[in-house]
């Protein structure tokens, strides 16, 4: 039986209710239960793909990377997360498309070699629509290297390409790997934008990170003309510049 978002919501709600009733062991018991799960996945070249048990693997991620916050706060965060979804028929990325995208990025750039040589990227596909997001990316560093996780949801719009969104999320992993942090943007990227005339001082770090992720997406698409660029009106010059910058950025990564 799969561990889906509804299961996650119900399990976290039960544990939180027990805590409110004074059962101080409820949080610890929940964590033990989650870590005892063995989520099923498909192993690809440089990635692990979770589908039916994506929610279980997500819970394991949250509990693992936020230990300093304590289990109770993680429990509350997981409950809130599971409550942000609803059933939907909007477009969603498929297992075949995930495989295709990894093949494309590794044909164009040394993506796996530079971004995730030590650990496979974990891809979590949720068969539901998030209240605001199409996808999101997180990562953490340990002595053996970076561990990255991309969550993909059903799209917010009918005409939005899941492939473009997935490329965008892979772009986020790239800047995390390049800077070694979740809350930074490569200095070379700010320089690149200023040369294009962008007013970077008006942009926050998250906004700059989104522009970086889009730049990576455009760089890959520039080498695969069959892919439809989701940003209308871009010139070939912009696409070439995106490719040239990302190519140079890969050279910056040791």
| pTM for the predicted model, two decimal places | 0.96
CA distance 240 to 205: 24
* CB atoms inside a 10 Å sphere around CB 104: 19
Beta bridge mates, 50 = 124
Give per-residue pLDDT as tens, 174-203. Answer: 999 999 999 999 999 999 999 988 899 999
Which pLDDT band holds residue 28 (cuts at 50, 70, 90)?
very high
- Pick the closest to residue 45 from 104, 120, 101, 97 (CA basis): 120
Percent of the chain topping pLDDT 90: 91
pLDDT digits (tens, 9 = 90+) for 68-98: 889 999 999 999 999 999 999 999 999 999 9
Q: Which residues contact 198 (CB under 8 A, 6 or more apart)?
A: none
pLDDT for 127-174, tens place per residue?
Answer: 999 999 999 999 999 999 999 999 999 999 999 999 999 999 999 999
Alpha helices for 187-230 (secondary structure H): 187-195, 205-222
Tell me the average pLDDT of the chain.
Answer: 95
């Amino acid at each position: 039986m799969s561990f889906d978002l509804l299961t996650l919501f119900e399990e976290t709600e039960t544990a939180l209710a027990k805590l409110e009733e004074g059962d101080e062991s409820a949080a610890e018991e929940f964590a033990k239960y989650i870590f005892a799960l063995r989520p099923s996945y498909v192993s690809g070249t440089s990635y692990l793909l979770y589908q039916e048990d994506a929610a279980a693997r997500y819970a394991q991620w949250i509990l693992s990377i936020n230990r300093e916050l304590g289990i109770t706060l993680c429990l509350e965060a997981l409950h809130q997360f599971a409550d942000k979804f609803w059933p939907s028929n909007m477009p969603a990325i498929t297992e075949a498309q995930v495989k295709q995208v990894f093949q494309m990025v590794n044909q164009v750039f040394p993506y796996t070699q530079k971004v995730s040589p030590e650990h496979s990227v974990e891809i979590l596909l949720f068969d539901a629509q998030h209240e605001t997001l199409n996808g999101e990316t997180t990562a953490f560093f340990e002595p053996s290297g970076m561990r990255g996780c991309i969550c993909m949801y059903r799209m917010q719009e009918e005409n939005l390409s899941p492939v473009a969104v997935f490329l965008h999320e892979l772009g986020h992993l790239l800047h995390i790997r390049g800077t070694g942090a979740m809350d930074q943007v490569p200095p070379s990227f700010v320089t690149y934008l200023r040369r294009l005339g962008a007013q970077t001082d008006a942009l926050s770090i998250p906004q700059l990170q989104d522009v970086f992720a889009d730049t990576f997406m455009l760089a890959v698409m520039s080498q695969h003309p069959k892919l439809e660029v989701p940003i209308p009106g871009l010139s070939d010059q912009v696409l070439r510049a995106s490719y040239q910058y990302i190519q140079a950025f890969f050279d910056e990564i040791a």
